[in-house]
Chain A
Amino acid sequence: MSNKQQEGKIIRISGPVIEADGMRGAKMYDVVRVGGENLIGEIIRLNEDNAIIQVYEDTNGLRPGEMVISTGMPLSVELGPGLLANIYDGIQRPLPAIQEKTGEFIARGVEAPAIDRKKKWYFKPTVKAGEKVNGCDVIGEVQETSIITHRIIVPPELSGKILTIEKEGDYTVEEDIAVVSNGGGDVKLQMMQRWPVRKPRPVAKKYDPTLPLITGQRIIDTFFPVAKGGTAAIPGGFGTGKTVMLHQLAKWSDAQVVIYVGCGERGNEMTDVLREFPKLEDPKSGEPLMNRTVLIANTSNMPVAARDASVYTGITIAEYYRDMGYDVALMADSTSRLAEAMREISGRLEEMPGEEGYPAYLASRLAEFYERAGRVKLICSKDKEGSISVIGAVSPPGGDFSEPVAQNTLRIVKVFWALDADLADRRHFPSINWLKSYSLYLNEIQSWWKKEIGEGWLKLRNKAMALLQKESELQEIVKLVGPDALPPKERGLLEGARMIREDFLQQSAFHEVDTFCPGKKQYEMLRLILKYFDKTQEAANKNIHIDDVINMNSRENLARMKNVSNKLFDKKFQETEKDLDKEFSLLEKGGS
C-alpha cells in the first residue's frame, strides 16, 4: 500500500490530547507516531492544517515542536494464529513481549508485534489450486492450541481463484501460503491478516439468536438467560460482583472462543485470570481454559486514550474468530471506563458536553459496539454461521442506574442483570436482583431447554419467579405484623421463596463444585425445591402444622444440593426426593 505520510509538529499538549500543525492531507483516525520516543496516537479531529491526536501512551515530558508523523493507516489489529492464550494491551501489544523489553514497569514507545513473526505453525491446506474462493472461505488449518483449530480464511474483501497453495508444512505467519487471482491482479496470502478496529468485519446476514449461551450460573441460565449471539449488561456499584461474574462467564460459558477485555479496571484482576485460567479445565475438552481465551488489558493506570481502542481491538478479534465459524463470547469490564475516557477526551477537545459531561455521541458509540454482537450468516461460499455474544459491565457512580451510561446501555442490550448492593452486603452472591433483572431471550431459547433438559423448564422458571414476586409483597405485610401472624399457607410460601433464594439463586464462585452448575442439575434443583414448596401448601390444606414441614430433615438435604458432585447428582437427588416424599407422608399420617 502506498500512503503519503504527513509530517507535522506539536503545537499543544494537554494530557493525553495533543495538537499538531502541518498535518493537511492526513486522514481521520489515521495512526500517527509522536515525538522522539515514537509514541503511538490516533487522529481524532482535523481542522485545516491542524490535527488533534489522542496519544495511547503517557505524554509526560513531550514538547511543542516535536515531530508528528502520520502512518497513513487506521488503527488496525493483526489477526492470525498466536492470538489465543495471549495477553495484549489496548492497542494489541503483547504484554509478555513488553516485559521482555522494558521490565516489570511498562515504559513508553515500546514496539512489539502482536503476532510472533518467528514462530512456525503447521499449516494444512484445505483447498486446491484452481478452486474459486470468496472472502472468509477456509483455505487451510492450523492447530493453534489444544482446543482451537485456527481456520486460515480469505480476507473478507477478496475473492477469486486459487492460483497456488503451499503444501502441508511449517510456516511463519508472514510467509506466503497461497496466491489468489482476482481479476485485478494476483494477491499473495499469508496466515496473518490486518483489519482496522473501528470497522466491523462484514457479514452476510444477521439471524435471531435461538440457542442459549450456557454459563453454569443458575440465576443466569434458568432465570435470565443470554443467547449465543446476544447482548447483556451487568450494572452495579463497586464490589457488587461484576468482575467475578464476568470471570465466571469467561470460565464456564459454552462459547468456543472467549475474549476478555479489562478496560480501565484493576491490574490484579488480569493477573488473576492469567494465574487461574491455565490451571482450569474446559468442561468439554478437559484442556486448559487459557487455550481458548484472548486477554486484552488496559488497566485503570494505563493511558486513558487506549480505553476505547481496547474494546475495539477485542471485538475485532472476536469477529475474526466468528468468521472462522466459531461461537465467540466477549466480556468487557467495564464499559463505563470507556465512556469516561470518551468524556475526558471530549472535554479536552472542548466539545459541547451532553448529559453529565458525556459527549452527545455516547449513545451511538455504545450502540455501534453492541451492534457488532450477533448470530450471523458468514459471507463465505458455504452456508455457515458464527456468533459473538457480548456482555458488558457498567459501573454507575454511586450505584445509581439512572446515569447516562447505564441508561443508554439498557436501551441497547437484551439482557439486564441488575446487581444490588444490599444483596452484596449480606453476601448473597451473585447479588443479581431477581425482581429488577430481565432477559428478552426466554422465548427464543425455550425450545432448546425443553428438548435438551426438561419439558417443563419455562413453567418451572415462571412459577419460581411468581413465588419470589409474591414473597416481596408478603414481606411488606410482615414488616407491619411480624412473620408469626401470617396464615400457614403464606408462611409456607415465604419458606419456599427463601429456599429459592438461598439454595438455588445463591451460588459461590469460589466453591469447587458450585462454581459451575450443569443445566440438568439446575433444572432438578429447582424442580425439587418447588416440590417442597407444593408440600408446604398441601400441608396447610391438610392441617399439618406448618412448623413441622419447615423443620423436616429433608430440607437440609435440599439446602446442600448445590454442593453435590456435578457427576453424581442424579442418583443423590433421587434419594433426596424419596426422603422428602417419605418424610412428608409420615407427617400426613400424623407420626413425626
Chain B
Amino acid sequence: MSHKDIEYTTVTEVAGPLIIVDGVKDVAYNEVVKIKTSTGEERTGQVLEAFTDKAIIQVFEGTKGLDTDKTSVRFIGETMKLGVSKDILGRVFDGTGNPIDNAPPIIPEERREINGNPINPYAREYPSEFIQTGISTIDGLNTLVRGQKLPIFSGAGLPHNEMAAQIARQAKVLGKEEKFAVVFCAMGITSEEANLFIRDFENTGALERTVMFLNLADDPTIERIILPRMALTCAEYLAFDLNMHVLVILTDLTNYAEALREIAAAREEVPGRRGYPGYMYTDLAMLYERAGRIKGKKGSITQIPMLTMPDDDITHPIPDLTGYITEGQIVLDRGLHKKDIYPPVAVLPCLSRLMDRGIGEDRTREDHADVSNQLYAAYAEGCDLRDLVAIVGEDALSERDRKFLKFADEFEQKFVKQESHENRSIVQTLTIGWELLSDLPTAELKKIDEKYIKKYLPKTKEEKE
C-alpha cells in the first residue's frame, strides 16, 4: 500500500494553527497534507517538521473544529505545487490555489513547486529599463525599472492601494507597446480594497492580462503563507516561459508577516525582534528575490509589494526587513495625506537603488540624475528650515533661506501632488522640477552640471537676472 492511501487518525495534539500526528511513516519535509474533520470537511496543510514516526503540520484553513479523535490525515506524497498553463491569464484563485471565478479548473501543462528555486546570480540580467509610471515622485526621483522590487511602505488608512492601482494602470516602457501582465496577490485585505483593484482592471481592460490570488480579511490567515508563493510561481511561468513582462502586486505583506508570527508562536520558537521569527528576513527574501530579469529571456518580473507600517513606524521589523531586501522603497506619509497631497510620498526616505542605471541620456534624459539630486538637496534644506522657523520665526532667516523654505512648499504642491488619473510623462516631470528650481539662486544649483543649466533652466528666469 502506498503511503498516499493511508488515512491516519492519530492526531495527538492541536495547538494554534498546528497539529501533531503520531505513528506516521515516510513523511517528507514540506509535504502537503489533506485533513478531514469529523464532519467530513476537507482542509489542506503542510509538514513543518518531519520525524521518523511523527509530523508537525500547519493547517492553512485553521484548526477550528479539528480534534484528536476523529480527525483524519492523509499525506499526498508531494510538496505544494501550482498547475500552470497559458489559460491561467484572466483567472481568479483562492488561498489554496482553487479557482473561485466559477470557470472550470485549468488543465495544467505543468505542476510547479511553489517555493521555486533561487535564480542563479550568474544568470541574472541587471534591470535597467525605465518604467514610466506617470507619477513624478517615482519617475523623477525614485525611478522604477523592469525587474525591480520596489515596495510601498504605507500606514493604515493611507491611499497606497490607489497608488498601486495607478501604477498598474499607467506603467509603460517608453517606445514599447507591450502591456504588463499583472499578477495580483491579496493577503488579508478587505473585499472593498480588493474591489478597487478589480474594478480598475475591468475598466482598463487589464482583466484578461491579470491573474488574481485572493485571500481576503475574513479568509483563513495561514493560507497567506502559501499565497504569495503561488502568485510568484505563476509570475515566473508568465515571465520566463511565456516571455511576458509581469507586474506583481503583493498586498498586504504586514498580514503575511502576522501569519508567520502566528506559526512561530504556536511552535514556541525563540522569537526574534518584537515577536517575529528570527528567520523572517530569509523568509521574506524567498519572496522578494523572485523579482528580476534573466539573461537571454525576454520576460521580467517587477514587484510592487505593499505593507502598512504598524504605528507608522519604519523601524518596525516588517518594513525594516523588507527594506533590507528590496531595491528601494516608496514611503507614504500621514502628514502629507492630511495636507491633502496625493500621492502622499515622503520623498526624503524614499529610494530606488536601480535608478542610476535606468536613467540618463538614452533612457530618460541627460539631466535627469542631476535634477533629481538637486531637488532632493533643496527639499531637504527647505525641510530643515521649516524646523528652524518653528523656533526662531521666519524673520531670522536670510533672503536665501526664505527661498528654500518657499521651495519646499511649492515642491510638495506642484511636484509631489498630482491627480490619481494624471499620467505625467517623464519630460513633464522634469519640466516641473526645473520650474521649481528656477526660483532658487542659480549659484545654488551646485548639483547640476553647468551645461544642463544653460540648456534647461527656464529662459524667463535667466532674463530676470
The interface of chain A, by Cβ under 8 A from chain B, is: 11-15, 58-65, 87, 95-96, 98-99, 103-108, 237-239, 262, 264, 266-268, 270-272, 274-275, 297, 299-302, 304, 337, 340, 343-344, 347, 353, 356-357, 395, 397-400, 421, 424-427, 478-485, 502, 510, 556, 559
Residue of B nearest to A346 (CB): B270
8 Å CB contact of A61 from B29, B354, B381: B29
For this complex, into which size category does the number of interface residues on chain B fall?
35 or more
Cβ contact within 8 Å between B50 and A238: no
CA distance A424 to B290 in the complex (A): 27
Cβ contact within 8 Å between B391 and A61: no
Cβ contact within 8 Å between B285 and A300: yes
The 7 tightest CB contacts between A and B, nearest first, are: A482-B396, A300-B285, A398-B315, A426-B380, A238-B323, A301-B289, A105-B117
B271 contacts which chain A residues (CB < 8 A)? 357
A388 to chain B, nearest CB (A): 24
Q: A347-B278, A427-B380, A484-B398 are in contact. Are A267 and B289 (CB under 8 A)?
A: yes
The interface of chain B, by Cβ under 8 A from chain A, is: 26-31, 48-52, 78-79, 113, 115-127, 240, 269-273, 278-279, 281-282, 285-286, 289-290, 292, 294-295, 297, 315-317, 320-321, 323-325, 327-329, 348-349, 351, 353-354, 356, 369, 373, 376-377, 380-381, 388, 391-393, 396-398, 401, 443, 446
Cβ contact within 8 Å between A104 and B324: no
8 Å CB contact of B282 from A266, A275, A304, A397: A304
Interface of B is mostly: mixed
A59 contacts which chain B residues (CB < 8 A)? 29-30
CA distance A99 to B294 in the complex (A): 12
CA distance A238 to B321 in the complex (A): 8
A473 to chain B, nearest CB (A): 16
Q: A64-B52, A347-B270, A483-B401 are in contact. Are A87 and B122 (CB under 8 A)?
A: yes
8 Å CB contact of B327 from A63, A268, A484: A268
B282 contacts which chain A residues (CB < 8 A)? 264, 300-301, 304, 340, 344
B124 contacts which chain A residues (CB < 8 A)? 267-268, 270-271
CA distance A96 to B380 in the complex (A): 44
8 Å CB contact of A274 from B31, B121, B369: B121
Cβ contact within 8 Å between B121 and A87: yes
Cβ contact within 8 Å between B320 and A238: yes
A395 contacts which chain B residues (CB < 8 A)? 324
Cβ contact within 8 Å between A510 and B122: no
A239 contacts which chain B residues (CB < 8 A)? 323, 328-329, 351, 353
B184 to chain A, nearest CB (A): 22
A299 contacts which chain B residues (CB < 8 A)? 118, 121, 285, 289
A149 to chain B, nearest CB (A): 26
8 Å CB contact of A104 from B240, B325, B349, B373: B240
B115 contacts which chain A residues (CB < 8 A)? 58, 60
CA distance A275 to B27 in the complex (A): 44
Known: A268-B292, A344-B279. 13 other contacts (CB 8 A): A15-B29, A58-B117, A61-B78, A87-B122, A95-B121, A104-B119, A105-B119, A106-B119, A267-B119, A268-B354, A302-B118, A397-B320, A510-B356
B117 contacts which chain A residues (CB < 8 A)? 58, 105-108
B240 to chain A, nearest CB (A): 7
Q: A104-B240, A343-B272, A357-B278 are in contact. Are A479 and B289 (CB under 8 A)?
A: no
Residue from the set B118, B321, B328 with the largest chain A CB neighbour count within 10 Å: B118
Q: A274-B121, A304-B279, A398-B315 are in contact. Are A62 and B28 (CB under 8 A)?
A: yes
B328 contacts which chain A residues (CB < 8 A)? 239
CA distance A60 to B270 in the complex (A): 23
Residue of A nearest to B443 (CB): A556
Cβ contact within 8 Å between B388 and A266: no
CA distance A300 to B376 in the complex (A): 31
B446 contacts which chain A residues (CB < 8 A)? 502, 556, 559
8 Å CB contact of B29 from A63, A272, A481, A502: A63
B279 contacts which chain A residues (CB < 8 A)? 15, 304, 340, 344
A–B complex contacts, Cβ < 8 Å, 10 sampled: A60-B79, A61-B29, A64-B51, A105-B120, A106-B119, A108-B117, A238-B324, A344-B279, A347-B278, A421-B349
Cβ contact within 8 Å between A13 and B123: no
Cβ contact within 8 Å between A357 and B348: no
B122 contacts which chain A residues (CB < 8 A)? 87, 95-96, 98-99, 270-271, 274
Residue from the set B79, B316, B320, B321 with the largest chain A CB neighbour count within 10 Å: B320
Cβ contact within 8 Å between A266 and B325: yes
B241 to chain A, nearest CB (A): 11
B324 to chain A, nearest CB (A): 4
Residue of B nearest to A274 (CB): B122
CA distance A162 to B45 in the complex (A): 65
8 Å CB contact of A482 from B50, B52, B270, B392: B392
A302 contacts which chain B residues (CB < 8 A)? 118
CA distance A114 to B328 in the complex (A): 34
B397 contacts which chain A residues (CB < 8 A)? 482-484
A559 contacts which chain B residues (CB < 8 A)? 446
A359 to chain B, nearest CB (A): 10
CA distance A11 to B25 in the complex (A): 11
Cβ contact within 8 Å between A62 and B29: yes
